[in-house]
Structure 1
Amino acid sequence: MALLTRIRGPRDLDRLTPGQLAALAQEIRTFLVTEVSKTGGHLGPNLGVVELTIALHRVFDSPRDRILFDTGHQSYVHKLLTGRQDFSRLRMKGGLSGYPSRAESEHDVIENSHASTVLSYADGLAKANQLLGKNDPVVAVIGDGALTGGMAWEALNNIADAEDRPLVIVVNDNERSYSPTIGGLANHLATLRTTQGYERFLSWGKDALQRTPVVGQQLFETLHGAKKGLKDFIAPQGMFEDLGLKYIGPIDGHDLTALESALTKARGFGGPVIVHCLTEKGRGYHAAENNDEDRFHAVGKIHPETGLPIASGGGQSWTSVFAEEMVALGREREDIVGITAAMLHPVGLAPFAEAFPDRIFDVGIAEQHAVTSAAGLATNGLHPVFAVYATFLNRAFDQVLMDVALHKLGVTFVLDRAGVTGDDGASHNGMWDMSMLQIIPTLRLAAPRDADQVRAQLREAVQVKDAPTVVRYSKGTVGPAVPAVGRVGGMDVLRAAEESSGAHRADVLIVSVGAMAPTSLEVADLLAAQGITATVVDPRWVKPVDPALPGLAAEHRVVVTIEDNGRVGGVGAAVAQALRDADVDLPVRDFGIPQEFLDHASRAEILAEIGLNAPDIARKVTALVSKLDAAPVQA
Structure 2
Amino acid sequence: MSQSASLLEAINSSDDLKKLKRSELADLATEIREAIVHVVSNSGGHLASSLGAVELGIALHYVFDTPRDKIIWDVGHQAYAHKLLTGRRNQFETLRRHGGLSGFTRRSESDYDPFTTGHSSTSISVGLGIACAKRLKKDPSKVVAVIGDGSMTAGLAYEGMNQTGDTHKDKDLIVILNDNEMSISPNVGAISSLLSRTFSAAKLQMMRKEFGEFLKSLPRIGENVYQFAKRSEESFKTFVTPGMLFEAFNFEYFGPIDGHNLDHLIDILKNIKTMDEPVLLHVITKKGKGYQQAEKNPVYFHGVSSFDIDTGICRKKATNVPTYTEVFGKTMVELAKTDPRIIAVTAAMPEGTGLVPFSQAYPERFFDVGIAEQHGVTFAAGMATEGFRPVVAIYSTFLQRAYDQILHDVCIENLPVVFALDRGGIVGEDGPTHHGLFDLSFLRSIPNMVMMAPKDENELRHMLATAVAHDGPIALRYPRGRGSGVDLDDTFEMLPIGKGEVLERGEDLVMIAVGSAVNEAICAAALLKENHHIRATVVNARFVKPLDHELILSLVRSIPTVLTIEENTLAGGFGSAVLELLSDKGMAHVSVKRLGVPDCFVEHGPQDVLRRKYKVDAAAIVRAAIELKESTTTIYQNGHQEATRYATGR
Distance 1:16 1:113, change over 3 A: same
Name whichever of 123-132 and 96-105 sits farther off: 96-105
- Taking the TM superposition and a 5 Å limit, the aligned residue runs for 1:4-15 are 4-15=8-19
Distance 1:42 1:120 in 2: 24
What residue number does 2:164 align with?
159
Letter in 2 for 1:69: W
Match of 1:477, as an amino acid? R
| In 1, Cα distance between equivalents of 2:355 and 2:394 | 10
Task: Indicate conservation of the 8 Å contact 1:281/1:295, yes or no.
Answer: no
Alpha-carbon distance between aligned partners in 2 of 1:6 and 1:489, rounded to the nearest angstrom: 62
Distance 2:611 2:455 in 1: 17
8 Å CA contact 1:10–1:62 kept in 2: the answer is yes
Asked if the contact 1:449–1:482 (Cα under 8 Å) also holds between the matched residues in 2, the reply is no
> Unaligned regions of 5+ residues in structure 1, if any?
176-185, 206-217, 498-505
Q: 2:499 aligns with which of 484, 490, 499?
A: 490
CA distance in 2, matches of 1:193, 1:519: 60
1:106 aligns to what?
111
> In structure 1, which of residues 566, 569, 572 is the aligned counterpart of residue 572 of structure 2?
569
Q: Any residues of structure 2 matched to 1:225-264 within 5 Å, and which?
A: 226-264=232-270
1:93 matched to 2:98? The reply is yes
The structure whose residues are more often helix, as a share, is 2
List alignment gaps of at least 5 residues for structure 2. 200-214, 216-224, 489-495, 644-650
**SS, match of residue 280 in structure 2:** strand
Q: Which amino acid aligns with 1:70?
A: D
Kept after mapping to 2: 8 A contact 1:4/1:24 = yes
* Structure 1 pair 6–79 and aligned structure 2 pair: CA distance change class (3 A): same
Q: Secondary structure at the match of 1:67?
A: strand
SS at match of 1:62: coil
Q: After the TM superposition, which residues 95-244 of structure 1 pair with which residues of structure 2 at under 5 Å, given as runs?
A: 95-161=100-166, 162-175=168-181, 194=188, 197=191, 200=194, 226-244=232-250
Match of 1:534 among 518, 533, 536: 536
Q: Secondary structure at the match of 1:514?
A: coil
How far 1:239 sits from its partner (Å)?
Answer: 1.6
**Corresponding residue SS for 2:71:** strand
Counterpart selection for 1:596 from 600, 608, 611: 600
Output the aligned Cα RMSD. Answer: 2.5
Q: Is 1:197–1:250's contact at 8 Å kept on the other side of the alignment?
A: no
Residue by residue, what CA displacement relative to the aligned partner does 1:137-188 show, whole Å, maximum 9, x if unpaired?
Answer: 111111111111111111111112332232111111112xxxxxxxxxx7xx
Q: Which of 427, 445, 453 matches 2:433? A: 427
CA positional deviation for 1:488: 13
Could you tell me which residue of structure 2 aligns to residue 320 of structure 1?
Answer: 326
CA shift in 2, pair 1:445/1:42, >3 Å: same
**Aligned residue runs from structure 1 range 390-469, under 5 A:** 390-465=396-471, 467-469=472-474
Residue correspondences, number? 598
Q: TM-score, normalised by structure 2?
A: 0.88
Choose from 622, 626, 630 the match for 1:622. Answer: 626
List aligned pairs for 1:512-523, cutoff 5 A: 512-523=513-524
Aligned twin of 2:493: none
Q: What is the one-letter code of the residue matched to 1:135?
A: P
What per-residue deviation string (whole Å, max 9, x for no partner) do you get for residues 541-565 of structure 1?
Answer: 2211113222222221211110000
| 1:300 equivalent in alignment to 2:309 | no
* Matched letter for residue 579 of structure 2: A
Using the TM superposition, give the Cα deviation of residue 224 of structure 1 relative to its aligned residue in structure 2, in angstroms: 7.2
Q: Is the partner of 1:3 in helix, strand or coil?
A: helix
Q: Which residue of 480, 497, 519 maps to 1:475?
A: 480
Report the Cα distance in structure 2 between the residues aligned to 1:282 and 1:324, rounded to whole angstroms. Answer: 30
User: What's the counterpart of residue 207 of structure 2?
Assistant: none
Q: Distance in 1 between matches of 2:542 and 2:425?
A: 16
The 4+ residue runs of structure 1 with deviation greater than 3 A are 189-205, 220-225, 480-483
Structure 2 residue identity aligned to 1:579: L
Which SS does the other structure have where 1:128 is aligned? helix
Moved more, 94-103 or 363-372: 94-103
Q: Deviations over 1:492-526 (max 9, x none)?
A: 211111xxxxxxxx221111111111211132233
Take 2:414 and 2:631, find their aligned partners in 1: how far apart are those partners?
47
TM-score by length of 1: 0.90
1:192 touches 1:250 (CA, 8 Å); kept in 2?
no
Q: In 2, distance between residues paired with 1:231 and 1:6? A: 42
Aligned to 2:546: 544
Question: Which of 53, 57, 74 is the aligned partner of 1:70?
Answer: 74
CA distance in 2, matches of 1:80, 1:365: 28
Cα distance in 2 between the residues matched to 1:268 and 1:132? 19
In the aligned structure 1, how far is the partner of 2:484 from the partner of 2:631?
Answer: 35
Matched, 1:365 2:371: yes
Report the alpha carbon displacement of residue 34 of structure 1 after superposing the two structures with TM.
1.8
Distance verdict in 2 for CA 1:62–1:554, change over 3 Å: same
Aligned residue identity for 2:30: Q
Q: How far 1:105 moved relative to its partner?
A: 1.5
What's the CA shift for 1:260?
A: 1.0
Between the aligned partners of 2:303 and 2:242, the Cα distance in structure 1 is 33
1:439-496 CA deviation, whole Å, 9 max, x = no partner?
Answer: 111111111111110111111111012x11111111111124399xxx9982221111
Q: What is the rounded CA distance, in whole Å, between the counterparts of 2:147 and 2:246 in structure 1?
A: 15
